[in-house]
Amino acid sequence: MKFYYSVILILFSISVSCQDNLYRFSEDVKKTVLEDSTQSESWRSQMEATYYSISGQYKPALESWDRTFGRVKKITAADSLKFTKLIPANAKDYIVKKATNEQVVIINEAHHNASHRNFISSLLQGLYDKGYRYLGIETLEKDDSLKIRKFATLNSGFYSQEPEFGNFIYKALKIGFKIFPYEAEGNGKEREIGEAKNINDFMQKNKDGKYLIYCGYQHAYEGIHKSWEKTMAARLSDLTGLNPLTIDQTQFSEKGLPKYNEPLLRLLKNTEPVILTDKNQKVYNGEDKELSTDIKIIHPITKYKKGRPGWMLTENRKFYEVPSSAISQYPVLVLAYRKGEFEQKGIPADIIELQNAEDSHFLILDKGNYDIIIKDREYKVVNNFDKTVK
């Protein structure tokens, strides 16, 4: 279940044609999808989930995806007993330590799940300290100005228009990573070959450091795929002679409804991203041995604070309550841009939709200077002001 290259191109063309209203009210996300009666329910579910995600609507994005892809899974008594014997360890600390002796780390995401971008952002400084200097990102367009501008714009890529993705890119550039695109044309096998070749070509020209590769879904898996034969990760290993450390975030992440969560999530009840090991320190990496990754991250069920996902409150981030006096009428969209980025079509650092005065008025922002932009129901900017988060 994934977007192929042709699908990405269609979505990107849609977003480019309506960039002024890219960040939408929930009602308009649903309306946009329902109006396209030519597409399948599967397409509409994925598209709706993606646009909810881009507009900062985390839970609706999960729920939209589950409308088509949600599955209730059962667990055997034997598996339940096996899981209870596994030992959890902090995923961030484990991965950074494990990456010390690696040259290539490949980690994936579900394209509608913003928490995955938040997690990889938490790895950046630790990996940089271990010698990682290059960051390949699947969704990016070729854009040489990114390293000069130091932030992504609406033209940088499709999925990177989502706030947590924009924050991820901003942080990586600030730390010092050299970011490169590696997307390839075609579907299936052709695309896997092209992506691996593009990454290898970059590696051959940039050897002063290690490589972090960020991708979607099964591109990070090793083994034989039923449609692609070998995945991007496996083909990159063939080209380079290196065995990448492959990491999956997608399987053991929460769904929109608890009944669709993997049984392991229901058993574990972890409060932070973890990996599981047995008593011999062997990492649990799922039951599929034909197509797997070295590590599976088990993400916790989101706890909400002041109406916002708790995982957003990382490092220097804190709540900022938008004053009611700044809003003359409802509903509104409130978008926070790092200073100077709104005028250059940058990516907002955070977005909230307020239907009425009782809705949570809290943005979650890192330290810095921001332009707070307020748009009315017609997407007209009705107020804007500066805010410094200390």
Tokens of 85: 């014997």
- Sequence ranges of the domains in the chain: 5-69, 77-296, 315-389
Q: What pLDDT, on the 0 to 100 scale, is given for residue 12?
A: 45
Q: Which CATH number fits domain 315-389: 1.10.3470, 1.10.10, 2.60.40, 3.40.50?
A: 2.60.40
- The residue among 120, 141, 321, 339 whose CA lies nearest residue 213 is 120
Mean pLDDT score, 29-34: 85
**Architecture of the structural domain at 77-296:** 3-Layer(aba) Sandwich (3.40)
- Burial letters 97-108, b for 16+ CB under 10 A, else e: ebbeebbbbbbb
Q: What is the rounded distance in angstroms from the CA atom of residue 30 to the CA atom of residue 33?
A: 5
Q: Are 213 and 242 in contact (CB under 8 A)?
A: no
The dihedral built from the CA positions of residue 157, 163, 165 and 168, taken in this order, carries a sign that is positive
**Per-residue pLDDT tens over the stretch 192-201:** 999 999 999 9
Q: Which amino acid is at 151?
A: F
Q: What pLDDT, on the 0 to 100 scale, is given for residue 1?
A: 39
Q: Do domains 77-296 and 315-389 have the same CATH topology?
A: no
Grade residue 2 by pLDDT with cuts at 50, 70 and 90.
Answer: very low
Q: Are 316 and 367 in contact (CB under 8 A)?
A: yes
Grade residue 346 by pLDDT with cuts at 50, 70 and 90.
Answer: very high
Q: What pLDDT, on the 0 to 100 scale, is given for residue 19?
A: 52
Mean pLDDT score, 370-387: 97
Q: What pLDDT, on the 0 to 100 scale, is given for residue 21?
A: 82
User: What DSSP string runs through 316-359?
Assistant: T-EEEEPPGGG-SSSSEEEEEEETT-TTTTB--SEEEEESSTTS
Q: What is the rounded distance in angstroms from the CA atom of residue 178 to the CA atom of residue 280?
A: 37
Q: Which range among 147-156, 280-289, 365-374 has the greatest average pLDDT?
A: 365-374
The whole-model pTM stands at: 0.94
Q: What is the rounded distance in angstroms from the CA atom of residue 290 to the CA atom of residue 278?
A: 21
Alpha carbon 121 to its chain's center = 10
**Per-residue pLDDT tens over the stretch 137-150:** 999 998 778 989 99
